[in-house]
Copies of this chain bind each other. A is one copy, B any other.
């Protein structure tokens, strides 16, 4: 048996969620570990998911007027040091290049952990007039953060992402852009990955290093822990001042630009896995699945079966479905397991009797329900089924989140909730750093965001009892 093809049992998610996750990413052939600590290899199936994410999101970016660019991967130390808050946030976790060839560099270079300073430096060179604004740039690349402990997709030394960096004539415009991009992320998570998200603003403590404010989409995993799935930052003119990005406005005065940045990464694939998958393997959201439907011939040695299966494949591809035909010499049962492990949304079983009856059997990956359909109309049946599955997966994830969302009015309630379970807890907060840190230190949970959709849980901060107007969502987070 080939190493590449072995499907084995995976750890039960209710027994050891963390091991279950590791089993999935390996056995669904999404990743392999590399010889470099904390760096993963995205295998063809894993990378194909990222390519599909890129295609959808990049199209949205372009439709909203953004342009792609490519910046260097290195940042000279002096450039990184220009914005004080930014460097304080990132310095402890960057990789340093000190030698080129056999020579020691005069100034060391860090491998970009994020590229604000590179964009700022470039913008200061190319912007002069209000006519040059806005600049709406994005880049697809990898970045490096020297993490101590790593997990595939969720936290790795190097990861793939996109980082948008825009500059605008006014703060209002920049804030609008910040929220526009958060909406694009939210819509993408919900409409393509079937992951329900809470949109909101991060607290001062949790915001991005150097930002004026950070907005986030927060999602809840199957185990009740939270995952930050995308962030969008509003910078005001802080970086513009540090990097001297000025323009002559219509009124002929010099002004600083206002700035944003926003990003999603391969981390969201980790989220997708932990929201939908089960003890049989990955469950792929249909709209992003590299393979949406797999045809498995039954008794394929019998005359006409493989021919019909190939015919069906051609027909489904012509209907714009992403299709695979498994015509290897493995047993059907083995093929079923493999297809389940890879989370392929719809399996088509096609045997001699089905062909005789002009039928095929469709099996949904999420519910494992079987449906017999006519071959005549199978392409539309599959398309409808994929849509139904998307909606069902989204609803299921949303219900799971609702069931795991709690309310706390004081520290006792909060403590009791996290003693027994994991989930989102809504509570009022007085907006003091002291209370936020106390909760984090005592319970090991962090403020996920101040949701845009606020509720009034009570009049007072659940920590200090003083008057409070903000509702915060708390959770243990990945």
Q: How distant is A69 from chain B, measured CB to nearest CB, in Å?
A: 5
Contact A128 B48 (CB under 8 A): no
Q: Which residues of B contact A41 (CB under 8 A)?
A: 69-72, 118, 122
Contact B101 A92 (CB under 8 A): yes
Q: CA A142 – CA B48 in complex, angstroms? A: 19
Q: Which of A129-137, A177-185, A354-362 contacts B (4 or more CB under 8 A)?
A: A129-137
Q: Which residues of B contact A68 (CB under 8 A)?
A: 44, 47-48, 51
Q: How distant is A291 from chain B, measured CB to nearest CB, in Å?
A: 12
Interface residue from B35, B48, B99 paired with A96 (Cβ < 8 Å): B99
Q: CA A132 – CA B47 in complex, angstroms? A: 19
Interface residue from B2, B47, B126 paired with A4 (Cβ < 8 Å): B126
Q: CA A320 – CA B74 in complex, angstroms? A: 38
Q: Is residue A375 contacting chain B, with contact meaning CB distance below 8 A?
A: no
Question: Interface SS of chain A: helix, strand, loop or mixed?
Answer: mixed
Contact A40 B111 (CB under 8 A): no
Given contacts A4-B127, A68-B51, contact A118 B76 (CB under 8 A): no
Given contacts A69-B42, A69-B43, A122-B41, contact A132 B3 (CB under 8 A): yes
Contact A99 B95 (CB under 8 A): yes
Q: Which residues of B contact A71 (CB under 8 A)?
A: 34, 41
Q: Which residues of B contact A172 (CB under 8 A)?
A: none
Q: Which residues of B contact A87 (CB under 8 A)?
A: none
> How many residues of A are in contact with the other chain, CB < 8 A?
63
Most chain B beta-carbon neighbours within 10 Å: one of A1, A76, A109: A109
Near B by CB (< 8 A), chain A positions 63-120 give 67-76, 79, 91-102, 108-109, 111, 118
Contact A146 B101 (CB under 8 A): yes
Q: Is residue A154 contacting chain B, with contact meaning CB distance below 8 A?
A: no
Contact A93 B101 (CB under 8 A): yes
Q: Is residue A388 contacting chain B, with contact meaning CB distance below 8 A?
A: no
Interface residue from B34, B50, B72 paired with A36 (Cβ < 8 Å): B72
Q: Is residue A456 contacting chain B, with contact meaning CB distance below 8 A?
A: no
Q: How distant is A176 from chain B, measured CB to nearest CB, in Å?
A: 21
Q: Which residues of B contact A95 (CB under 8 A)?
A: 74, 97, 99-100, 109
Q: Which residues of B contact A99 (CB under 8 A)?
A: 95-96, 98, 108
Q: Is residue A125 contacting chain B, with contact meaning CB distance below 8 A?
A: yes
Closest B residue by C-beta to A51: B68
Contact B36 A131 (CB under 8 A): no
Q: Which residues of B contact A69 (CB under 8 A)?
A: 41-44, 47
- Having A42-B69, A44-B69, one finds 9 other A-B pairs with CB under 8 Å, namely A4-B127, A4-B131, A36-B72, A39-B73, A40-B72, A41-B69, A42-B70, A73-B142, A100-B157
